Structure 1
Amino acid sequence: MADPGVRVEATPTEDTPADDVAMADDGEEAEAKVGDGEDASTLPQADAPKRTTFLDYLKSPMVELVLGSGSDQVVLTAHQAMLVKSPYFADVCAQFSEGSKRRIELPDEDLNATGSFLEYLYMDEYFPRRLTSHKDSALEPDDSVPSPDNSGAALLKHAKVYTIAEKFGMPALKSLAHSKIHRTTSTAKGEIAYARYVYAKTSTGDETIRRPVAAFWATRSHVLRHEAEEEFRAMCLEYPQFGFDVLSLVLDQKEKRGERHEGSSQQPPASGRKRARVSQG
């Protein structure tokens, strides 16, 4: 290997004319400069991706979303550039022809859940928002929710956003809605209304939302006996999978308690919720 800083000059010979030597030297110097980064600014640069501004979103065409039917039909509008954040709407909007009316029929979608979906597209959040960024942060007060919430209105609001996020291919919104479920207070009857919706509208393999529902009831037998026995019985008859899931968790807990009495160090399973919701009636 040559010593650093030592340069061997080429000299012309009979086989190597002086002009050729000079051209070779020029080429070597150019390569050295590029390699050292000395002249990199003079090289053509790849175009950086253009940043999409909020104004770019607002300049995009408006799309009508038609919910419901008949006298209950409601038309919402949104910018197409916002909607195509969703793979579902990206596919639909890709079929629009130039100059055609941009209208999407959604007759079976819940109006409030769709509104929350659109709010999330524009704001990266939806009401009620989390009061802080902490994982256990409470939610903003919601005056539309009755007290006590025997209808499960608050829980159902987030459950419907969860299922619409699943349909429209928005995993971040799905995760956000699920986190708000764990921050929502309800009653025994409200919990049953929520459980009925979850077992009616989600797939059997969706343990993310189903397992916490079963775990909630598996650890609250006293609530079943005193506050929602009739509703719980009706739920089990309507959705046998719910009854089986609850029973399986109850039996698991019983086995673990038996192992603990025999000297096992295992602890009984905690509720699937991050923060237990206290029954209000």
Structure 2
Amino acid sequence: MADPEAQIETPTEEEVAEDVEMGGDEADAGAGEGDEATMLADIEQDVPEMTTFLDYLKSPIVELVVGTGDNEAILSAHQGMLVKSPWFAEQCAQFNSGGPRRIELASEDLTAVGSVLEYLYNGEYFPKRVNAAKDSALENDPTVSSPDNEGVALLRHARVYTLASKFSLPQLKSLAHAKIHRTESTARGEIAYARFVYKETSREDNTIRKPVAAFWAMRSHVLRHEAEDEFRSMCLEFPQFGFDVLSLVLDAREKQKEPSSGTPVVHAGRKRARVSQG
């Protein structure tokens, strides 16, 4: 007796289409899971790594040669700290592999450079503010005599201000300027400070120059007698200083003479006496 033939059922077109759709859904689900995993990986890669203080200390040592001759001193600093300054970062980028890591600062003041390094490491420099307030008084500095006729304290902050400008450290520049206005001095000390400002800063730097001129314009009638020779020498050496002070004095007098209505006063020109020829 012959075996019965096996019957193979052929799926209909509807069943085939349904199977294809189901398979597509499963593929899409798998693809979605892969995309989600990729997105999570991307997010994890964007998380920045935290730089610790120890990381700074692990960075290479850079020598700073400050001054020349008998006044030359070599300071050491970690490159990781120095490159907070764009100027130092540019200098460090020029080091040759295996060569000396040295930066020459022949014309800079040693104490001021030390203050800059102190700021890069600690975010402050001596004398520090007594508290975090911007208008806080400063710590006592036993190295400055009292009265400070030489303007030592003012000059210290002024030098830090100019270095902060050179090294592109705007926050340090602002800090030094704030400390200048918290520093007591004498008429002679103020003249020494004014001479440095008008010699070492640009004419366009009104941030530090304008307060100097305003200080002398408001107090020149008193301070001039305490340091008359120094004041005269300053005006002759830096005519711009004398002009700035005089301009502020004249502006103040004009405002005092203006009527309360705000209408400007027009002064008639004085006529010159005619000399009789007869």
Matched, 1:43 2:43: no
Q: Is the 8 A contact 1:188 1:223 kept in 2?
A: no
SS in 1 for 2:42: coil
Name the CA distance, whole Å, in 1 between partners of 2:130 and 2:261: 41
Q: How many residues align?
A: 250
Q: TM-score, normalised by structure 2?
A: 0.83
* The one of 235, 253, 263 aligned to 2:260: 263
Report the CA distance shift for 1:32/1:73 in structure 2 as closer, same or farther (over 3 A): closer
SS in 2 for 1:63: strand
Residue type of the alignment partner of 1:50: E
What does residue 273 of structure 1 align with?
none
Written as runs of structure 1 = structure 2, the 5 A alignment for 1:184-263 is: 184-259=183-258, 262-263=259-260
Report the CA distance shift for 1:227/1:26 in structure 2 as closer, same or farther (over 3 A): same
What does residue 142 of structure 1 align with?
141
Post-superposition shift, 1:18?
2.1
Percentage identity across aligned positions?
62
Name the CA distance, whole Å, in 1 between partners of 2:180 and 2:239: 23
Residue type of the alignment partner of 1:45: D
Written as runs of structure 1 = structure 2, the 5 A alignment for 1:104-115 is: 104-115=103-114
Q: TM-score, normalised by structure 1?
A: 0.82
SS in 1 for 2:149: coil
In terms of mean alpha carbon deviation, does 96-105 or 206-215 score higher?
A: 96-105
Name the CA distance, whole Å, in 2 between partners of 1:223 and 1:117: 36
Residue type of the alignment partner of 2:260: G
Name the CA distance, whole Å, in 2 between partners of 1:147 and 1:256: 38
Name the CA distance, whole Å, in 2 between partners of 1:26 and 1:251: 87
CA offsets 1:141-182 (integer angstroms, 9 cap, x no match): 000111100000010000000001111111111010000001
Name the CA distance, whole Å, in 2 between partners of 1:253 and 1:230: 25
What does residue 154 of structure 1 align with?
153
SS in 2 for 1:77: strand
Post-superposition shift, 1:223?
2.0
Q: Is the 8 A contact 1:66 1:105 kept in 2?
A: yes
What does residue 21 of structure 1 align with?
21
Report the CA distance shift for 1:21/1:242 in structure 2 as closer, same or farther (over 3 A): same
Name the CA distance, whole Å, in 2 between partners of 1:264 and 1:229: 39
Coordinate RMSD, CA, aligned: 2.4
Post-superposition shift, 1:13?
6.5
Name the CA distance, whole Å, in 2 between partners of 1:78 and 1:84: 11
SS in 1 for 2:57: helix
Q: Is the 8 A contact 2:224 2:231 kept in 1?
A: no
Name the CA distance, whole Å, in 1 between partners of 2:40 and 2:55: 31
Instruction: Select the structure of larger CA radius of gyration.
Output: 2
Name the CA distance, whole Å, in 2 between partners of 1:264 and 1:74: 63
What does residue 3 of structure 1 align with?
none
Residue type of the alignment partner of 2:122: M
Gaps of 5+ in 1: 1-11, 266-281
Name the CA distance, whole Å, in 1 between partners of 2:27 and 2:171: 54
Post-superposition shift, 1:49?
1.5
Post-superposition shift, 1:194?
0.2
Determine which structure has the larger helix proportion and give its number: 2
What does residue 6 of structure 1 align with?
none
Name the CA distance, whole Å, in 2 between partners of 1:225 and 1:184: 20
In terms of mean alpha carbon deviation, does 26-35 or 131-140 score higher?
A: 26-35
Name the CA distance, whole Å, in 1 between partners of 2:170 and 2:98: 32
Name the CA distance, whole Å, in 1 between partners of 2:40 and 2:134: 48
Report the CA distance shift for 1:142/1:264 in structure 2 as closer, same or farther (over 3 A): farther
Post-superposition shift, 1:27?
5.8
